[in-house]
C-alpha cells in the first residue's frame, strides 16, 4: 500500500533545488477526505518531480565552487581513510607506551563501534539541521577525538578518543555521500564519487607507510595530531563552498522532528550487536553469557526500532519504504552480503602473506595494492562510462559475476602457489569490485525517490559495513575452527612441541620461529594455509548471493525524462 502524501508548505526559496520546489507544488490542499479525488493528479505531479530531479542541472554549482567542494570532500574521504589505515603500524608502539597489549584491540573496536552505529542517525540529522552544519560538527568532533588520542595519558583515554573520532569519522563519510547527491545530477555523481573513492583508497594505501615512518622517526601521537590541520583546512573550504538547501524552522522545531526513541533503540541495538560480533571467538567464547546476551538483546532492540519507525515515529530515521520497494530492497540486501564477502581481501590475505609466505607486514601491505589499485582504476573509469552510456546494470552484473568467480579461485591458493598468481587474483578481484560496487551505489540512488537518495546511499554503505563486521566474525570462526583441528593433529604428531604448536593459534609468527625444528614450522604453515583456504571458500557464496540479488535490479534512466513525461501525462513543470 502506498503511503499518503503528507501536507507540505508551498513557500519556496531561491536556494532550494528544483525537485524541492516541485514536490511542494504536489501537495494536498484540503483535508484527508480530498485525497481520493486528487490522487491521480498528485501521482502524475510526483512522477514528474522524480524524473525532473534525476537530471536537473539548473542548480549545479559553478566550476570554481564545484572544484572547491570536491577538494573539501576528497580531503574528508582521505582523512577518514587515513585515520583507520595509519593505526595498524602504530599499534605496537602505542601498546608499548601503555603496557596495554591486552586492550589494544579496543583502540580499533571503539572507532568501528561508534562509526557504524551512528551512520543512519547522522544522515537523518543532516536532513533536519542541514548538510553543512552537520559536516562542520563532524569535523569538530573528529578533530576533538584526534586531539584526545594524541594527548592520551592512558589506554582508556585513548580508547575514549577513538570512540569520539569514530563519531566524527561517521559524519565525514556520510556527508561526503549526501553532499555529492545534493549538488550534482544523478548522471554525473559516479564521476565525482570516483574522485572521493580515489582519495580514500590512496589513504588506505599510504596509511601503513605513513604510520611506520611517524612511529620510527617521531612519536606515535603525531598519527593523531596530523588530523588536526587537515580538519582545519577542510572546515574553511567547506564553509566557503558547500551550499545546499537550508534547513527550515527554528532550532526548537528541528529538535522536535528528531525521532529520539527510534534513535536510542537503533543505537543501543547496533552497539550490542556489534559488541557481540566483536567479542565472539576472541574476548569470549561464542557460548559465553556475554556474547549470547548481546546477540539476543541487540536484534530485539532493532525489532523494537522497526516497530517505532513503522507505527510511532512522525518522521522516521529510516524510511521503511526503502525495504519494501522491489527496486531498492535487492540492492540493499546485496550490499550486506558483499560486505561479508569482500572483507577477506584486506583482513585475511595479509595473514596468508605474513604467516604462510613469511613476508614482513610492510611487504604484505604492498601485496594488497593490486586489489586497491584495480578497484580504484576501474571505479574511476566506471563513473565516466555510466555517465556516457546512461546505464549501470550490465556493469553490476559483470562485476559481481567476476567477483564471485575470482573469490572462488582464492580457495585454490596453497602454500606453494606462486606469489605472482596470488597478486593477479588480487588485482582481478579489485578490477571486478570497482566494476560492480560503483554502479551499485548509482543504482540505489536511481531506483528510489529523489528525496530518499541521501538516506538510501547511507543505508547501502551502512549495510556493507555491518556485513564486513559479520564477515570478520564468520571468517574468524571458520579460521579458528580449522586451525584448532589442524594444529591439534600437528601437536599429536610432535608431542615434544605440543604446547608451542597449540600456541600458534594466537601467534602465527611461530611458523617462522628459529627455535623450532623445520618440519614443525612447515607443518604450522601448512595448517594456516589449509585453514585460510577454507576461509576463502566460505566467502564465495556470499558474493554469489549478492550477484543473484542484483539480477533483480531494474533499469532507471539517468537522463532527463521529465519533459517527455510531462508531455505524455500533460503535467506542467514546477
Alpha-carbon gap, residue 125 to 396, rounded angstroms? 31
Alpha-carbon gap, residue 67 to 62, rounded angstroms? 9
The answer to whether residues 111 and 165 touch, using CB atoms and an 8 Å cutoff, is yes
Shared domain for 362 and 495, answered yes or no, is yes
Alpha-carbon gap, residue 549 to 387, rounded angstroms? 24
Shared domain for 458 and 517, answered yes or no, is yes
> Per this entry, what is the length of the chain?
574
Shared domain for 117 and 29, answered yes or no, is no
The answer to whether residues 470 and 277 touch, using CB atoms and an 8 Å cutoff, is yes
Q: Is residue 571, in this structure, part of any structural domain at all?
A: no
Question: Residue 37: its pLDDT value, please?
Answer: 37
Please state, in angstroms and as integers, the Cα–Cα distance from residue 203 to each residue in 76, 244, 254, 402, 453, following that order: 11, 27, 36, 26, 27
3-class secondary structure, 280 = strand
List of the chain residues with pLDDT < 50: 1-56, 561-574
Shared domain for 234 and 108, answered yes or no, is yes
Alpha-carbon gap, residue 407 to 384, rounded angstroms? 27
Question: Residue 535: its pLDDT value, please?
Answer: 92
Alpha-carbon gap, residue 242 to 217, rounded angstroms? 38
Q: Which three cell numbers stand for residue 445?
A: 540512488
The answer to whether residues 374 and 428 touch, using CB atoms and an 8 Å cutoff, is yes
Among 295, 296, 302, smallest CA distance to 274 is for 295
Shared domain for 214 and 331, answered yes or no, is no
Please state, in angstroms and as integers, the Cα–Cα distance from residue 164 to each residue in 120, 138, 139, 173, 175, following that order: 17, 10, 11, 15, 17
pLDDT in tens, 339-380: 999 988 878 888 899 899 988 877 887 888 899 889 888 988
pLDDT in tens, 400-418: 999 999 999 999 999 999 9
Alpha-carbon gap, residue 186 to 449, rounded angstroms? 12
Shared domain for 376 and 244, answered yes or no, is no
Count of structural domains, the chain: 4
Question: Residue 20: its pLDDT value, please?
Answer: 38
Shared domain for 475 and 508, answered yes or no, is yes
In 264-307, beta strands by DSSP E:
none
Domain span at residue 275 reads 260-313
Q: Is residue 296, in this structure, part of any structural domain at all?
A: yes
Question: Residue 400: its pLDDT value, please?
Answer: 96
Q: How far apart are the first and last CA of the chain?
A: 27
Question: Residue 325: its pLDDT value, please?
Answer: 85
Cβ-Cβ contacts under 8 Å for 503 (sequence gap 6 or more): 510
Q: Is residue 453, in this structure, part of any structural domain at all?
A: yes
Alpha-carbon gap, residue 391 to 83, rounded angstroms? 35
The answer to whether residues 138 and 129 touch, using CB atoms and an 8 Å cutoff, is no
Q: Which three cell numbers stand for residue 68?
A: 572547491
Alpha-carbon gap, residue 116 to 101, rounded angstroms? 24
3-class secondary structure per residue, 149-194: HHCCCCHHHHHHHHHHHHHHHHHHHHHHHHHHHHHCCHHHHHHHHH
Shared domain for 89 and 232, answered yes or no, is yes
Q: Is residue 444, in this structure, part of any structural domain at all?
A: yes
User: 238, 255, 272 — which closes off a domain?
Assistant: 255
User: 313, 340, 355 — which closes off a domain?
Assistant: 313
Q: Is residue 269, in this structure, part of any structural domain at all?
A: yes
Q: Which three cell numbers stand for residue 290?
A: 556475554
Q: Which three cell numbers stand for residue 488?
A: 591439534
Q: Is residue 540, in this structure, part of any structural domain at all?
A: yes
Shared domain for 228 and 352, answered yes or no, is no
Shared domain for 397 and 301, answered yes or no, is no
The answer to whether residues 351 and 476 touch, using CB atoms and an 8 Å cutoff, is no
User: 227, 255, 283 — which closes off a domain?
Assistant: 255
Cβ-Cβ contacts under 8 Å for 76 (sequence gap 6 or more): 135, 139, 172, 173, 175, 176, 196, 234
Residue 280 backbone phi and psi in degrees, to 5: -60, 125
Per-residue exposure over 59-98, b if at least 16 CB sit within 10 Å of its own CB, e if not:
bebeeeebebbbbbbbbbbbbbbbbbbbbbbbbebbbeeb
Alpha-carbon gap, residue 111 to 91, rounded angstroms? 14
The answer to whether residues 151 and 221 touch, using CB atoms and an 8 Å cutoff, is yes
CATH classification at residue 104: 1.20.1250.20
Shared domain for 363 and 229, answered yes or no, is no
Q: Is residue 568, in this structure, part of any structural domain at all?
A: no
Q: Is residue 83, in this structure, part of any structural domain at all?
A: yes
Residue 415 backbone phi and psi in degrees, to 5: -70, -20
Shared domain for 152 and 289, answered yes or no, is no
Question: Residue 253: its pLDDT value, please?
Answer: 85
Alpha-carbon gap, residue 211 to 90, rounded angstroms? 6
The helix (H) or strand (E) run that includes residue 137 is: helix 131-150
Question: Residue 527: its pLDDT value, please?
Answer: 93
| Partners of residue 280 on adjacent β-strands | 284
Amino acid at each position: 500500500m502506498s503511503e499518503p502524501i503528507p501536507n507540505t508548505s508551498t513557500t519556496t526559496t531561491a536556494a532550494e533545488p528544483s525537485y524541492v520546489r516541485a514536490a511542494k507544488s504536489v501537495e494536498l490542499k484540503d483535508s484527508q477526505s480530498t485525497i481520493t479525488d486528487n490522487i491521480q493528479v498528485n501521482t502524475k505531479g510526483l512522477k514528474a518531480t522524480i524524473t525532473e530531479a534525476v537530471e536537473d542541472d539548473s542548480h549545479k554549482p559553478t566550476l570554481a565552487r564545484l572544484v572547491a567542494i570536491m577538494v573539501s570532500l576528497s580531503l574528508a574521504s582521505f582523512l577518514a581513510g587515513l585515520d583507520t589505515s595509519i593505526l595498524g603500524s602504530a599499534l605496537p608502539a602505542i601498546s608499548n607506551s601503555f603496557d596495554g597489549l591486552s586492550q589494544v584491540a579496543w583502540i580499533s573496536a571503539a572507532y568501528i563501534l561508534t562509526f557504524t552505529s551512528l551512520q543512519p542517525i547522522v544522515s537523518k540529522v543532516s536532513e533536519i539541521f542541514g548538510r553543512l552544519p552537520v559536516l562542520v560538527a563532524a569535523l569538530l568532533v573528529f578533530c576533538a577525538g584526534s586531539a584526545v588520542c594524541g594527548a592520551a595519558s592512558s589506554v582508556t583515554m585513548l580508547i575514549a578518543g577513538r570512540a569520539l573520532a569514530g563519531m566524527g569519522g561517521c559524519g565525514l563519510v556520510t556527508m561526503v555521500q549526501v553532499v555529492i547527491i545534493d549538488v550534482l545530477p544523478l548522471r554525473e555523481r559516479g564521476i565525482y564519487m570516483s574522485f572521493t573513492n580515489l582519495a580514500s583508497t590512496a589513504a588506505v594505501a599510504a596509511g601503513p607507510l605513513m604510520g611506520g615512518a611517524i612511529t620510527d622517526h617521531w612519536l606515535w601521537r603525531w598519527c593523531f595530531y596530523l588530523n588536526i590541520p587537515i580538519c582545519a583546512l577542510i572546515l574553511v573550504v567547506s564553509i566557503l563552498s558547500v551550499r545546499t538547501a537550508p534547513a527550515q524552522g527554528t532550532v526548537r522545531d528541528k529538535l522536535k522532528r528528531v525521532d529520539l526513541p527510534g534513535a536510542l533503540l537503533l543505537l543501543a541495538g547496533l552497539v550490542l550487536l556489534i559488541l557481540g560480533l566483536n567479542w565472539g571467538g576472541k574476548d569470549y567464547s561464542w557460548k559465553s553469557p556475554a556474547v549470547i546476551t548481546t546477540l539476543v538483546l541487540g536484534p530485539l532492540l532493532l525489532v523494537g526500532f522497526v516497530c517505532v519507525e513503522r507505527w510511532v515515529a512522525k518522521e522516521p530515521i529510516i524510511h521503511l519504504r526503502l525495504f519494501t520497494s522491489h527496486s531498492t530492497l535487492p540492492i540493499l540486501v546485496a550490499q550486506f552480503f558483499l560486505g561479508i564477502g569482500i572483507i577477506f581481501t584486506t583482513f585475511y590475505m595479509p595473514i596468508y602473506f605474513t604467516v604462510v609466505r613469511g613476508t614482513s607486514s610492510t611487504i604484505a601491505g604492498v601485496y594488497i595494492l593490486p586489489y586497491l589499485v584495480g578497484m580504484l582504476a576501474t571505479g574511476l573509469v566506471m563513473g565516466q562510462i555510466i555517465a556516457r552510456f546512461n546505464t549501470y546494470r550490465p556493469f553490476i552484473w559483470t562485476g559481481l559475476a567476476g567477483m564471485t568467480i575470482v573469490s572462488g579461485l582464492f580457495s585454490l591458493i596453497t602454500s606453494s602457489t606462486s606469489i605472482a598468481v596470488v597478486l593477479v587474483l588480487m588485482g582481478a578481484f579489485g578490477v571486478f569490485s570497482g566494476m560492480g560496487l560503483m554502479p551499485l551505489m548509482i543504482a540505489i540512488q536511481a531506483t528510489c525517490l529523489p528525496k530518499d537518495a541521501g538516506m538510501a546511499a547511507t543505508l547501502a554503505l551502512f549495510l556493507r559495513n555491518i556485513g564486513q563486521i559479520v564477515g570478520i566474525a564468520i571468517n574468524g570462526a571458520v579460521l579458528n575452527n580449522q586451525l584448532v583441528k589442524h594444529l591439534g593433529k600437528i601437536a599429536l604428531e610432535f608431542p615434544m612441541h605440543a604446547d608451542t604448536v597449540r600456541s600458534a593459534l594466537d601467534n602465527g609468527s611461530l611458523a617462522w620461529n628459529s627455535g623450532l625444528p623445520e618440519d614443525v614450522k612447515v607443518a604450522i604453515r601448512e595448517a594456516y594455509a589449509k585453514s585460510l583456504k577454507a576461509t576463502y571458500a566460505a566467502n564465495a557464496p556470499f558474493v554469489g548471493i549478492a550477484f543473484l540479488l542484483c539480477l533483480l535490479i531494474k533499469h532507471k534512466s539517468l537522463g532527463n525524462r521529465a519533459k517527455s513525461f510531462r508531455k505524455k501525462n500533460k503535467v506542467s513543470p514546477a
